[in-house]
Chains A and B, each alone.
Chain A
Amino acid sequence: MPGCGQCIHCVESPGGLERALPGLGILSSAYGSVRGDTALCQLHDQFVRPGAPCAGFAERKENPENSAER
């Protein structure tokens, strides 16, 4: 089963994470190395690694590389 990184519920981009967590950028940053590849699963409202398997997986069709972040 594909991991979270290809799931429609996964927010992995730094811009998306900072919008999902208002205040994150005050004394931190989603663009930094310490975040690594941590993403936010909007189905479970939980932080995940992109490789995590999940029964709620729904494949993302669109190409996220085409979307501007901010």
Chain B
Amino acid sequence: MATVEASDAGSARRPAFSEFYLKEDWWAVWLGLAIVLLTVALYSTGNTFIKALAVNPGGIKWKSLDDITKHFAANYTMYAVQFVAWAAIFGLSSQVMGIKLAKFIPGFIIIYLLSLVMFTISGWVDAQKYNLEAPLLALVFGLVVANLFPLPEWFSAALRVEYYVKLGIVLLGATFPLTLIASAGPIALGQATFISILTCLTIYFLGRAFGLDKQLCAVIGVGGAVCGVSASMAIAASVGAKKEHLYTSVTLVVVWALVMILVLPFVSQALGLSAGVAGAWIGTSEFADAAGFAAASAYGKMAGNEDAAIKAFTLMKVIGRDLWIGIWSLVFAFIATMSWERTELGTKPGAGEIWRRFPKFVIGFFIASAIVTLITSGMSPDDMKKSAQPDLLKPMGSLRAWAFLFCFLSIGLSTRFRELKSAGLKPFIAFTLGVAVNVAAGYYLSVHFFGDYWSKL
């Protein structure tokens, strides 16, 4: 049995407020809102520092190496300041959470430089013609490197996939009108809930029909239906899951999530789906936020409307599915307690489970949306176009793109297929059929049932 040293164990005796500085969700909220408030404050005074700081080579549309040289010669100081800012906020917060700064910084230097290269390639004037979109480039490059070359152990300290995507989601809130959440949220919630229940029940009952443990069926069922390994981890203690059950979930989720990142954008393109419709479909199909944003962002760029794809995906995945993970955990805890055999290590479920498992970064997303909606609500269309768009919303969109690209690179660089455990044939078949039902039902609802709605985003 592989064991971890006892000194790695944490403590149940930490103060209740420790969650505010030990969980990356709360750090994403603090840092994301600090960036939003600083950007709004500087914008209000006419200061363009954040606009300059949010420099990004992804949009330069270069035609020759000379164009690239000119861009970096003009902006190298701001790139240096930007790197120091990212390294400081991610590095210091990670240090507080227990990841040593001395290990994080060397890895993050590599992540930042590679992101710069990926953005620069995607900034080629013909990049779109060859589908050289930064999210797919970063993912594929990372996968190739991680699986062909041995990477040093210290490098993994900077591969914080979830932390980067959570900060990116809070920043995304700043460019997401609250009115859109209010109008589209109920439709997204209805579609996502229907698909989630259908997928979870499909995987669970197929697994049971194949003779698999209840615990394993529950763990992979919520993994395929709600939010991947995070959902599996959320219910693991409630249902008394074994370590090997989580291994199975990790393997199935990672393999299928990667397949869908690479396939869904191209299938959407072949079917001629609008960016909004494809974003909604990807939002019901992908399990993990990070993987889904990679697919939605890639297709959005391919379709020439990244904004619509990202918005539809966010409504479907973050608002329609992620918010409800605590409720799923509570439901399975009740089922396990009331009708499954009692285990020695069982604990009674309580309503506190809903808040304990709540993905707190979503709070930051809503607050960021409310702040910017309030600031821009009284603006005329002309002011929005000439002032708020270029000086407020675009810089925050660029910073979000950076955070997402750190995430996409980290997915590729941390996925070493040789380290994944075999999932077994029966769990693989049950999960795969669940994915098929999920993708097919999600396609029908996104394209045919709510297609008119999503295409107008």
- The answer to whether A54 and B345 touch across the interface, beta carbons within 8 angstroms, is yes
A19: chain B residues within 8 A (beta carbon) = 4, 8
B103: chain A residues within 8 A (beta carbon) = 70
Complex Cα distance A48/B239, Å? 9
Complex Cα distance A62/B231, Å? 32
Q: Distance in Å from the Cβ of A46 to the closest Cβ of chain B? A: 5
In the complex with contacts A37-B356, A41-B345, A50-B12, A70-B98 CB distance below 8 A: yes
Complex Cα distance A60/B100, Å? 24
The residue on A at minimum CB distance from B156 is: A25
In the complex with contacts A28-B229, A54-B344, A20-B288 CB distance below 8 A: no
Q: Secondary structure at chain A's binding surface: helix, strand, loop or mixed?
A: loop
Judge whether B241 is part of the interface by a CB distance below 8 angstroms. Answer: yes
A residues 12-64 with Cβ under 8 Å of B? Answer: 12-17, 19-42, 44-55, 60, 62, 64
A50: chain B residues within 8 A (beta carbon) = 12
Instruction: Flag B4-17 by CB within 8 Å of A: 1 or 0 each.
Output: 11111111110000
- The answer to whether A27 and B291 touch across the interface, beta carbons within 8 angstroms, is yes
- The answer to whether B359 and A23 touch across the interface, beta carbons within 8 angstroms, is no
Instruction: Flag B139-160 by CB within 8 Å of A: 1 or 0 each.
Output: 0000000000000000011011
Q: Distance in Å from the Cβ of A10 to the closest Cβ of chain B? A: 5
Find A32's partner among B11, B157, B359 (CB 8 Å cutoff).
Answer: B359
- The answer to whether A64 and B9 touch across the interface, beta carbons within 8 angstroms, is yes
> Size band of the B side of the interface?
35 or more
Find B233's partner among A5, A34, A60 (CB 8 Å cutoff).
Answer: A34
B11: chain A residues within 8 A (beta carbon) = 5-6, 12, 64-65
- The answer to whether A69 and B244 touch across the interface, beta carbons within 8 angstroms, is no
Instruction: Flag B310-349 by CB within 8 Å of A: 1 or 0 each.
Output: 0000000000000001100000000000000001111100
Q: Distance in Å from the Cβ of A37 to the closest Cβ of chain B? A: 7
B7: chain A residues within 8 A (beta carbon) = 62, 64, 67
Interface size, chain A (Cβ < 8 Å): 59
Q: Secondary structure at chain B's binding surface: helix, strand, loop or mixed?
A: helix
Judge whether B163 is part of the interface by a CB distance below 8 angstroms. Answer: yes
In the complex with contacts A11-B9, A38-B236, A46-B243, A26-B254 CB distance below 8 A: yes
- The answer to whether A21 and B247 touch across the interface, beta carbons within 8 angstroms, is yes
Complex Cα distance A45/B24, Å? 26
- The answer to whether B253 and A36 touch across the interface, beta carbons within 8 angstroms, is no
The residue on A at minimum CB distance from B8 is: A16
Q: Distance in Å from the Cβ of A40 to the closest Cβ of chain B? A: 6
Complex Cα distance A10/B241, Å? 15
The residue on B at minimum CB distance from A3 is: B12
- The answer to whether A47 and B229 touch across the interface, beta carbons within 8 angstroms, is no
- The answer to whether A27 and B98 touch across the interface, beta carbons within 8 angstroms, is no
A44: chain B residues within 8 A (beta carbon) = 344-345
Judge whether B415 is part of the interface by a CB distance below 8 angstroms. Answer: yes
In the complex with contacts A26-B415, A51-B12, A70-B99, A35-B233 CB distance below 8 A: yes
Judge whether B234 is part of the interface by a CB distance below 8 angstroms. Answer: yes
Complex Cα distance A68/B323, Å? 32
B residues 372-391 with Cβ under 8 Å of A? Answer: none
The residue on A at minimum CB distance from B243 is: A45
Judge whether B399 is part of the interface by a CB distance below 8 angstroms. Answer: no
- The answer to whether B344 and A55 touch across the interface, beta carbons within 8 angstroms, is yes
B residues 180-238 with Cβ under 8 Å of A? Answer: 227-231, 233-234, 236-237
B99: chain A residues within 8 A (beta carbon) = 15, 69-70
Judge whether B134 is part of the interface by a CB distance below 8 angstroms. Answer: no
Instruction: Flag B348-360 by CB within 8 Å of A: 1 or 0 each.
Output: 0000010011111
A38: chain B residues within 8 A (beta carbon) = 233-234, 236-237
- The answer to whether A46 and B250 touch across the interface, beta carbons within 8 angstroms, is no
B4, B9, B229, B250 interface centre (most CB from chain A within 10 Å): B9
In the complex with contacts A14-B98, A20-B4, A29-B9 CB distance below 8 A: no
Q: Knowing that A14-B97, A42-B4, A48-B347 touch, tell me 17 more A-B residue pairs with CB under 8 angstroms.
A: A14-B98, A16-B9, A16-B10, A17-B4, A27-B257, A28-B233, A34-B325, A34-B359, A37-B356, A42-B1, A44-B344, A45-B244, A48-B237, A49-B347, A50-B12, A64-B6, A69-B98
10 chain-A/chain-B pairs, Cβ below 8 angstroms: A11-B10, A15-B8, A25-B161, A27-B228, A27-B257, A34-B234, A38-B236, A40-B4, A52-B347, A69-B99
